[in-house]
Chain A
Amino acid sequence: MLLSLMIFVPLLGMIVVLLLPRESEELIKRATLAFTLVPLLLGIYLFISYNNPNLEHLWKANAPWIDAFNINYHIGIDGLSVTLLLLTALLGPICVLASWRNIEKGLKAYMGLFLLLETGMLGFFAALDLFLFFVFFELTLLPMYFLIGVWGGPRREYAAIKFFLYTLFGSVLMLVAMIAVYLNSNVINGVAEGVRTFDIPTLITLAGTTGHALADSTFQMWVFLGFFIGFAVKVPIFPFHTWLPDAHVEAPTAISVILAGVLLKMGTYGIVRINMAMFPEGLAIFTNGVGIVGNSLALLGFINIVYGSFCALAQTDFKKLVAYSSIGHMGFVILGLAAGNSAGINGAILQMFNHGVISAMLFLLVGVLYDRAHHREINGFGGLATKMPVYTGITTLAFMASLGLPGLSGFVGEALSLLGAFQEFELITILSTIGIVVGAAYFLWTLQRVFLGQLNPKYEDLPEINRREILTLVPLGILTIVLGIWPNFALDMFSESVTNLVNVLDAI
């Protein structure tokens, strides 16, 4: 019940906001903020009250929805989803605050769409029914399309349609795979009996039972591919990544934050929740370390890391740099997942959460600078540290966290992923460590070009970061530090579930 409330309060908020008069902008903002705060509070409550000795999904709700296909409204949380729910709920109000001043036109529609988007994301992380899962997954497309396309930068139309087409293409494959799974969900030893089901936990158990059609390894391989490509576009995994830089560069600050903070995680979350948990056999084909195919997943992670880092090194647009850097960091997630052992998967999931927090910070910071200077050309700045020390300090924190400085959250995830991956794919992992150096290189270089050196006289009177912006950044900064010092704070949430998953994988 609480969970449903958490998911649908933003939807309610959208309706309310759309009913408000267009003129009263303050009211609209405050209402939106309120409606995003409710999920945050609920999320915190769920997070705190979450204790899961037996790996059950908590806060379940299960109601029949479409009997014709045995589709149920089935939601619930486990350690994995509760962290991401919290992340989503946390970024909600922050983004509303971040778009407090810089939305010139159609504020009402903007806020409404944003709330719809939040419902989609929350629902996605909570869904336990494959069909519901898919519907929520797609539900985020429309608002995103409009948010980028209407409120974006100069090339917004291109970016928006590109984002839309790429993701839709991915989800098409997912749909086929999904139907295939459903059709085979009641076939045991070649004979169909009983009802078919979309219920994810049930499907997972069925995929484990020998003789069941879902357990067949070739079947699993194809379905795995279908789902994987669908999620890979979202992550994004090379070579499906080209929509990301465009989308980021064009999107308004808050939307970039959501995009990097949550939407990318939807991809990796899906990979863990569906691909790994449901199709371990399929996974094994791509991670057994034999030949190209056997290393493919790890290779993809490696390519993401190195490729993203080098691309970032080449950028002169601040935002594009951050965008490419997040491609690189998602690579660590893929690498850790490919490892398939406790350290790797835990690291990957932790990295998901941390990257959500850190990249959100980075994009917020870019937005702060953009609102003042109205451009993002890295070489156009210089010596800002003298004018805006606080901003510089926070940026340094974010950069250091992002380049994986120990003591900050970015490190733990990366280190665990690498430690885990090394046990399975030694060479690939060693090569991936290039990403660590290059990551340091481009962040420090940016730091130097933007903040160090002589103050660029153009920016003699650049105002220092203001209270509202600091307010948006501080919670994320605190999370970064806390998770860096005490990762168990998040790890305890999902480590049991991961252990369970690892046992399933080892059984193969």
Chain B
Amino acid sequence: MSLQHYLVISSILFSLGIFAVLTRKNAISILMGIELILNSCNLNFVAFSRFVTPAETIVGSEVFRFDGQIIAIFGIVLAAAEAAVFLAIILAIYREFGSIRPDEVDTLKG
């Protein structure tokens, strides 16, 4: 599989995420959309780091640099943290508004 395949997949994922974020009428689905976005990015990073970043030779043997992978891992971590916070806030919202439909949470406007 070449880089293009990965990129296509990741961009599809990204678009799906954006679509979910913009259209879903449920906070949880929005969260899932966000996760999709983040994961598409992670996929990008890994793919790029596999195909693009030049391998450098340390003491004779050729070694790959893992920058992309590292970023991806951090991305996963942050995504998890974000999800946690998001869910907590959704709880608060539910407590205050009795609903998690994003379009019903619009007392602040203008």
Please say whether the chains A and B touch (CB closer than 8 A). no
Residues of B participating in the A interface, judged by any CB pair closer than 8 Å = none
